[in-house]
Amino acid sequence: MHSVLTGKTATSVTLGSKELLAFVGTDYLGMAHHPKVLEAASQAFVDYGLSPSASRITSGSCTPHEHLEEALAEFMGLESAVLLPSGGQANLALMESLIDGLDVILLDADAHPTLVHAARLNGSRRLDYGAGDGSRLMALLDRFRHERILVVTDSVFPTSGRMAPIPDIVRDLPEDGLLLVDESHSLGVVDPQGRGAVKAFAIPTGQVVVSLSLAKALGAFGGALVGPASVIQTIKRRSETYATTTPIPPAMAAAALASLRLLEAEPSRVQRLHRNIQRLHEIGQLWGRRPSGSFLPVLNRSFADEKEGRRISAELLRRGIYVPFTQYPGTPLGGALRFSISSEHSEEQIARLEVALKEIAALG
Ligand SMILES: Cc1ncc(COP(=O)(O)O)c(C=O)c1O
């Protein structure tokens, strides 16, 4: 059973009437609660109402949508962008637009379920390469070098924290190949200014399309595809998910744009997040993890014995700390505690978590 929240801030949740220190979710920069972001959303609600109640290709395109698309492309150093109703649907939209346009999809075995689902719906021949198995991927790229290949990967994997070998893939991608990188967990996180892995690696981007969820470090809602103008045009022409659905409310686009502007103006937020990520991974050493140097603001602790995970979650709750035990798709073994950190957690709050986990370990 999951708990139902009665309130939330960047670092706390309220359950019933009790406020708890929380290490949950993916609002990595606290933008979902930032006054400037909320103000931008409120103004757009006044200007545009709750929803355009029309698709982008009829009367649903509003200035905040257009401005956010331009800003995302510029921020990530790519040519063009298109918004989709969610990150999952962004992955779907790219695959839809490439139906009949691919010979083979090479998919990282750890790819996010929305990528796997989208690849399945595309219907092209699909080969998975093993997580972190660079040599198999390179062999496949070589084997299919005369084919129309789409390589599909997350940039930072949200379960393991592993980073995809993006520069290697781009280097060996055939001329007709395309790389889809899901940067949902790296926008606002990877790179000193949070511009994501593709920008951080400074690789040639003519064959790279980035997919994003706006519901993570930007604290808003929705999705986007960012990449070469020709690919974005094809998506607009061929994707039903783009053309025949209602876009995100203009207020959400305005909120995401305000987050992006804050990110540009205050890179110190990203630095605070990096410091907190390091602290979180230090805490992981309590259960024998080596510090990984990972950029992921999440620490997953899997349990073969579900009861043990639930016991630790309950002990944390007794100490006023909320980290639910979850069994989300892809969780190995019996389930996992998923500790998420944000730039807004203070050192004192992180130390509280550390002390509590040490006490609980001593009890167990
Ligand atoms: C890597 C990745 N891609 C896509 C998504 C889906 O994004 P959205 O929730 O905006 O549909 C998620 C969300 O969990 C994700 O972690």
Segment 169-222, tens digit of pLDDT: 999 999 999 999 999 999 999 999 999 999 999 998 899 999 999 999 999 999
Q: Where among 265, 281, 310 does a domain terminate?
A: 265
| CATH number of the domain residue 354 falls in | 3.90.1150.10
Q: Where among 238, 265, 292 does a domain terminate?
A: 265
Segment 298-318, tens digit of pLDDT: 998 888 888 999 999 999 999
How many separate domains does the chain show?
2
CA 318 to ligand 1 center in whole angstroms: 31
Q: Is 215 in the pocket of ligand 1 (CB under 6 A)?
A: yes
Q: What are phi and psi of 211, to 5 degrees?
A: -110, 150
Record the pTM.
Answer: 0.96
Same domain, 316 and 358: yes
| CATH number of the domain residue 83 falls in | 3.40.640.10
Of 49-63, 240-254, 326-340, which gets the smallest average pLDDT?
326-340
In which domain, by residue range, is 331 found?
7-26+267-363
Residue appearing with tokens 């979902």: 32
Same domain, 129 and 211: yes
Q: Where among 217, 243, 265 does a domain terminate?
A: 265
CA dihedral 335, 157, 32, 264 (to 10 degrees): 160
Query: Is residue 1 over pLDDT 60?
Result: no
When the pLDDT of each residue in the chain is averaged and rounded to a whole number, the result is: 94
Query: Is residue 330 over pLDDT 70?
Result: no
Q: What is the mean pLDDT of residues 145-163?
A: 93
pLDDT for the residue numbered 294: 81
In a domain, 314, yes or no: yes
Mutate to test the pocket of ligand 1, among 115, 184, 328 (most ligand atoms within 8 A of CB): 184
Question: Is-contact 85 245, C-beta < 8 A?
Answer: yes
Same domain, 198 and 310: no
pLDDT for the residue numbered 140: 95
Same domain, 42 and 15: no
Query: Is residue 132 over pLDDT 90?
Result: no
Q: How many CB atoms lie within 10 A of CB 92?
A: 26
CA dihedral 11, 15, 17, 20 (to 10 degrees): -30
Q: Is 297 in the pocket of ligand 1 (CB under 6 A)?
A: no
Mutate to test the pocket of ligand 1, among 112, 226, 295, 296 (most ligand atoms within 8 A of CB): 112
Tell me 215's DSSP state.
T
In a domain, 2, yes or no: no
What band does 285 get if pLDDT is binned at 50, 70 and 90?
confident
Q: CA-to-CA distance for 267 and 278, rounded, in angstroms?
A: 17
Strand partners, 225: 82, 211
Query: Is residue 101 over pLDDT 70?
Result: yes
Q: CA-to-CA distance for 39 and 345, rounded, in angstroms?
A: 22
Question: Is-contact 33 221, C-beta < 8 A?
Answer: no
In a domain, 1, yes or no: no
CA 143 to ligand 1 center in whole angstroms: 31
In a domain, 154, yes or no: yes
Same domain, 153 and 41: yes
CA 259 to ligand 1 center in whole angstroms: 18
